Structure 1
């Protein structure tokens, strides 16, 4: 026992000594070592500083956007790869006592890199190793830890039962911590609502390093983290979610149309009916720029991708009645268990091994991208659709997801969660501009195109405010710089775009639970001025 204690002490002393005496991280490491339980894992396998040979590997492992892998991108003072709740508690306590900003990272899908980049000294708290899932089919619930990916969640549900599903996003490598706390879109939203609408409990580490469940945190804080973004209020450890019973087989389809095949008329009709169809039917429209293989000429294809919670026999009459122009055929449809339906959204064959759900993108598969979002409340006229498609062709790496509303989304109050975009919305648009080119000036050129396209869309989307979705974070709608100075006049701009009338309540909750505004980033919820 004494020898073990001596060796542990020597390890910690040696580790701290590798951090220079002038480094602001030294006191943090010393503080963390007092709380860390070496029986769980050596401290050298939890904290990585720039002195570690593997620091860059750990840093880049979960950066999905190459815009934030540049040499000029600010780097953290340290990365804490938390392996337990106690590691998270120690990180919060020691960062707070040493006035070091925390960035909380899951799978690194943050569109603006706010979960792993800062313009002031900071550390990254990586949650990806806290990723357990415990499914209780008898009570139709599951506890899902923050670092678990959607792919792992879907895989685990599917391996447990073909009769249950959960309404969340389509990207397998996306972790649930940030996705659920920002709302959580997916193909089942018309049937069951957002991921955040179906959370029944949570565990969070608060600003004092305490672990709170729903009862302990109170309903105001629980409300805030189910759609208002968890990183403004604490560190989400896990979610308790409600699972939904579904038929053992669902139906998916994928139909592609070009302008010559009537895509403009189809998209216009889609706008009129997609949000009014039975709740069981979800039809996504995905306009995308492609190149002709023969002459290289660019044109727009529209992909209509559908999920129906029911059989092919029920689906075809429904489509023929409401959307016959689509020309859906039996051969376009596939009946399969729900977990296999998730494969279609990632362009994987439906017969693929379900372990594909567990795959994470490799470092060399990351791309540069800029994402944004909008909400549409009235149909875009055909002339507008044509103009949008013509604008898209200016950049061949640009595509959109048009996600239909209606169904359950019309039945949930705009204040039930912080996520306000509910009744009256026809569909949401996600803009994605991605590129691989590394040549000088490319990033600026591509981002300028995204901004010009966003401006071009102004007449067709919501206004007063022009709404945005938190999970598609966009720095262009306002951000605090430097991030350790939070100004209410700036925060109101992005806060109202994300949360509309719910912003004020979020500010009240923030002021109550984190009065010193420790949990902050460029677009965090501010505290009231004293």
Structure 2
């Protein structure tokens, strides 16, 4: 179905999560099956119309909605999750959102995929970019369980067709599968569905094909009031998080059952948050949680208090100042859906990212503190989130999948959200200055070294390809892909030789 500017639903079809980017395409094509996608792509190729794809609208940049785009393929109606006996794997269409996926997999078969935190992110772009999630330390990345992908591609003759690529060693299309294990969305074609089956899984029972999540989890939510934190204590808190994750990033480390988020909000928020989840079914789960929180408290004289302020992707949770045990699916639903910005159509935003291998040098953490206490803005929804990595994610060879940051201990999401378009420059400049200041010794970006390890392609940042902001001499594609870029370039040349699928930070053909 084509939705055009004359249709009443058009305005709802040309915007995503970040309302800085609202599109004006000639049409949005709502598709229901792969054959329809092939038809739409072929039409766009024939008439030389720029085409992009949306699965849930969570792209942080203007890669989907910008003035050059004439046709948008909307995948939201392709959202089925089912067992496919022909492939002997669990199929997930690219429009299926995380909460839909988790509910279907768990309620039907008691399994899951270690995918994202936010309930409304869809599989399409999330999986293609590597797919980090809160079970990363126990089960790895979602792409570590990816068996196959179906992609509508365009060949050198301008012919659109659907191709299925698997991880099987003898599959002649295997490079297309590999490119979708972290190569990012919008590069090779339109992803219509994925199939998942954990390597080594045998038989034809979906209940044994994918990881089983914890039956129950312990959830703790505490906060520190900014008014009680000195710079030294702020620094200690951040370094405690970093040192714990560096020390406990091994695949067999018993503390891999800990998932923790440190939310370093701008001081105008009033609080800094620490959200922690522990598998409640492991022996001594309460002790593991208590020991972790004690480690975080080491050297911090400020007393932690209930988390009463909304911060980043977390709503107030004062009831969790004492840890509570909840069923896994309920805890996942609660943490993933209590996020006002994901349900508010007025928010504008800017984002940046960092993978961390080591602890913070003095100048980096001092710069973070300086910008979180800056009076240039007053924005409770601005800050830096620390999220866990390592564990089972570190088992996989960096070249085995397209996402290469297997040695990272944790990652950072720099974010700011606001409502008034007149404040765009203020908040974007604040973000750019803070990021550049933090990585001043490496040209304003987190180049791969012993401390930092580049950037996460699922948190795309157009500034990385702008020499005004990236002065490191390290190209954007190295920050995202490191040594895997050459292989991604080969896949691009084979599967999209006309460079039909592109955006302003896509993999090229030269």
State the match for 1:305 in structure 2.
275
Distance in 2 between the 1:513 and 1:479 partners? 27
Post-superposition shift, 1:88? Answer: 0.3
For residues 227 and 240 of structure 1, the distance between their equivalents in structure 2, rounded to whole angstroms, comes to: 15
What residue number does 1:166 align with?
A: 113
Please say if 1:337 is aligned against 2:327. yes
Distance 1:246 1:51, change over 3 A: closer
- Which of 220, 225, 231 is the matching residue for 1:253? 220
**1:253-332 superposed matches below 5 A:** 253-259=220-226, 260=228, 262-277=233-248, 278-289=255-266, 291=268, 299=270, 301-311=271-281, 314-321=284-291, 323-326=293-296, 332=322
User: Gapped runs of 5+ residues in structure 1?
Assistant: 1-45, 292-297, 349-355, 481-490
CA distance in 2, matches of 1:467, 1:90: 38
Does 2:460 match 1:473? Answer: yes
Q: What RMSD, in angstroms, separates the aligned Cα atoms of the two structures?
A: 3.0
Return closer, same or farther for 1:275/1:255 CA change in 2, 3 Å cut-off: farther
In terms of mean alpha carbon deviation, does 107-116 or 393-402 score higher?
393-402
Q: Secondary structure at the match of 1:403?
A: strand
- CA drift of 1:331 comes to 6.4
Is 2:205 the partner of 1:240?
Answer: no
What's the counterpart of residue 419 of structure 2? 436
The alpha-carbon deviation at position 318 of structure 1 amounts to 2.3
1:366–1:331 distance in 2 versus 1, CA, 3 Å: closer
Q: Distance in 2 between matches of 1:324 and 1:521?
A: 46
| Contact 1:404-1:428 at 8 Å conserved across structures | yes
Counterpart residue number, 2:308: none
**Residue 7 of structure 1: aligned partner:** none
CA distance in 2, matches of 1:229, 1:141: 23
TM-score using structure 2 length: 0.79
Aligned mate of 2:179, from 224, 233, 239: 224
**Aligned equivalent of 2:370, options 362, 380, 390:** 390
In 1, Cα distance between equivalents of 2:214 and 2:8 = 51
Instruction: Work out whether residues 479 and 523 of structure 1, in 8 Å CA contact, stay in contact via their aligned partners in 2.
Output: no
Shift of 1:386: 5.1
Cα deviation for residue 251 of structure 1 reads: 2.0
Equivalent residue for 1:498, pick from 462, 465, 480: 480
| Deviation for aligned residue 1:498 | 0.9
**Aligned equivalent of 1:40:** none
Aligned residue number for residue 90 of structure 2 = 142
Q: After the TM superposition, which segments of 4 or more aligned residues of structure 1 sit over 6 Å from their partners?
A: 327-331
How many residues are paired up?
444
Q: CA deviation at 1:516?
A: 1.5
Measure the CA separation in 2 of the matches of 1:136 and 1:302. 45
Kept in 2: contact 1:268–1:382 (CA 8 A): no
SS of 2:28's equivalent?
A: strand
Aligned with 1:66: secondary structure?
coil
Could you list the per-position Cα deviations for residues 342-396 of structure 1 after superposition, in whole angstroms to 9, with x for gaps in the alignment? 1343474xxxxxxx9xx9955x533010011012222115675354233113332
| CA-CA distance at 1:310 after TM superposition | 3.1
- Residue 140 of structure 1: how far off its partner (Å): 9.7
For 2:212 and 2:289, how far apart are their aligned partners in 1?
Answer: 24
1:210 corresponds to = 161
What SS does the aligned partner of 2:148 have?
A: strand
Q: Separation in 2 of the partners of 1:445 and 1:376? A: 27
8 Å contact from structure 2 (residues 364, 439) kept in 1: no
Question: Aligned equivalents of 2:137 and 2:56: distance in 1?
Answer: 26
Alpha-carbon distance change, 371 to 156 in structure 1, aligned in 2, over 3 angstroms = same
| Aligned match for 2:33, one of 84, 91, 95 | 84
1:450: how far off?
Answer: 1.1
1:508 pairs, out of 483, 490, 494, with: 490
Task: Give the match's secondary structure for 1:231.
Answer: coil
Higher RCO structure, 1 or 2 (CA under 8 Å, sep 6+): 2
Write the distance in 2 (CA, Å) between the matches of 1:332 and 1:263: 23
Q: Is the 8 A contact 1:114 1:521 kept in 2?
A: yes
Q: Aligned residue for 2:202?
A: none
CA contact (8 A) 2:258 2:289 kept: no
Distance 1:492 1:377 in 2: 18
- Residue correspondence of structure 1 range 116-195 to structure 2 within 5 A: 116-117=65-66, 119-135=67-83, 141-161=89-109, 163-195=110-142
Tell me if the contact between 2:241 and 2:296 (Cα under 8 Å) persists in the aligned partners: no
Q: How far 1:125 moved relative to its partner?
A: 0.7
> How far apart are the structure 2 equivalents of 1:369 and 1:331?
29
Match of 2:19 in 1: 66
Is the 2:367–2:434 contact (alpha carbons within 8 Å) kept by the matching residues of 1?
Answer: no
1:416 is aligned to 400
Question: Which residue in 2 is equivalent to 1:487?
Answer: none
Partner of 2:345: 365
2:45 maps to what in 1? 96
- Contact kept? 1:312, 1:335, Cα under 8 Å: no
Structure 1 residues 497 and 217: CA distance shift in structure 2, 3 A: same
Answer whether contact 1:105 1:116 (CA < 8 A) is retained.
no
